[in-house]
Structure formats: C-alpha cells, structure tokens
Chain A
Amino acid sequence: AQSVAQPEDQVNVAEGNPLTVKCTYSVSGNPYLFWYVQYPNRGLQFLLKYITGDNLVKGSYGFEAEFNKSQTSFHLKKPSALVSDSALYFCAVRDRADTGRRALTFGSGTRLQVQP
C-alpha cells in the first residue's frame, strides 16, 4: 500500500521569506512524486513531478522540490514567497512498481498562508 503524509495542516510565512511545505511518502517500490496546488473552489493545478534523475526538481511559479530517498521525503520549497502563493498544496505519490494502479494517493493537504 502507498501513503503520503503532510504533517502540517497550515504553514504561515511572510512575503519574501523562503517557504517549505513538508511531505513524506511510503511505497513498496520506487515512487513517482507530484505536487499540486488548489485554489478555492477550483481543481488541482500541477506544479512539479519527480520521476527519475536529478533529485532537485524545478516546477511552475518558482517552486521546487527535493527528492530524498533515504528520508522518503519530497518537500516543496520556494526561495521567496508571494501573497498569491496562498493556497492548498497537495503532495501525491504513485508506486512505479504497481503498473495496474495508475491513480495517485494524495496527502491531506497543507494550507499555505503568505502574509504581506
């Protein structure tokens, strides 16, 4: 079985400061990892993914995430937060070995609040 943990319900950061949204995962094989962002009453927008290769992945809107296999983590980061980054962020995983199941397993979400 695969699972994702986002330990923080909410992260508060001042505009211009760096931000980190934490994510850890559990899969039996190697993971595909994703970050999505959701604005109020909207669907999810794809931010970035890790499939293979370089552990540091760069995505949309200046976000990046680092895959750490030993810590089974995939934390989302941005060097300088914007007020417009305030939204709900979801980490998701798919077990690469489970070719029969292509659905994603999502974390519980972390609300990012960037204060002006």
Chain B
Amino acid sequence: GAVVSQHPSRVICKSGTSVKIECRSLDFQATTMFWYRQFPKKSLMLMATSNEGSKATYEQGVEKDKFLINHASLTLSTLTVTSAHPEDSSFYICSALHPQGSIQYFGAGTRLSVL
C-alpha cells in the first residue's frame, strides 16, 4: 500500500511551547490530508481537513488558532500545536487521501506529552 510518513513519533514538551508535527505522503500526491486525535481506548476524532493551497477546514469545537494546519505542497501537511498544555497530550494521527480509490492512508502517529 501507499506510504505516509509522520514525524516525530513521540515528543515531550513543556507547557507553553509549540510543537510541529509533519505528515508526508511518500509515493503519491495528496491534495487532501486529515488530522485526527485519538484518546486512550477511544476512536479517532477528526480535527480538521487539510487542503493543499487553501485553508484547512476545522471540525466543530477544534480551535483553529491553537491547532495550526499548513498544507503547502501536495506531499506535506503540518500540524502545529501552539502554546501546548497538558490537556493537549494525546496521540495525533494524520492521513492522506489517495487520488485514486478513495482510500486514506495513515501515518504512524505522534504521541504528544505536555509536562
């Protein structure tokens, strides 16, 4: 299957700092990527849809100024958690929508721990 790379896999940061997570589609171009958040023993919660060359579409209740999304190229979307707080600690997963077949391919996820 297609490959989506997500980096870093794990990050620990102090409260108040910002953290950037990268999501790259390695073998296909993705005009649309998605960012999810997964709580322990819970399902994936869609945070936002990242559209190449335009603004991201955020789900209701997700603060766009806190979770900045940039999709500057057809293979890269970034999620920046600004002024992180302990309640932002979670597992963040990105996916990229393959242009053929309607399949989303997922990154390996990023475990964010805010101290």
Residues of A at the B interface (CB closer than 8 Å) are 32, 34, 36, 41-46, 49, 51, 90, 94, 102-109
Please tell me if B62 contacts chain A, counting CB pairs below 8 Å.
Answer: no
Task: Report the Cα distance A44→B93, complex, angstroms.
Answer: 9
Q: B107 to chain A: which residues have CB within 8 Å?
A: 43
Q: B46–A108 contact, CB under 8 A?
A: no
Q: B104–A104 contact, CB under 8 A?
A: yes
Residues of B at the A interface (CB closer than 8 Å) are 1, 4, 6, 32, 34, 42-44, 46, 49, 91, 93, 95, 97, 101-109, 111
Q: B43–A109 contact, CB under 8 A?
A: yes
Q: B93–A32 contact, CB under 8 A?
A: no
Q: B43–A90 contact, CB under 8 A?
A: yes
Q: B42–A108 contact, CB under 8 A?
A: yes
Q: A46–B103 contact, CB under 8 A?
A: yes
Of the listed residues B43, B97, B103, B107, the one surrounded by the most CB atoms of chain A closer than 10 A to its CB is B43
Closest to B1 in A: A46
Q: A45–B106 contact, CB under 8 A?
A: yes
19 contacts between A and B (CB under 8 A): A41-B109, A41-B111, A43-B93, A43-B107, A44-B93, A45-B1, A46-B103, A46-B104, A49-B103, A90-B44, A94-B102, A102-B32, A102-B102, A103-B34, A104-B34, A104-B104, A106-B43, A107-B43, A108-B42
Q: B102–A44 contact, CB under 8 A?
A: no
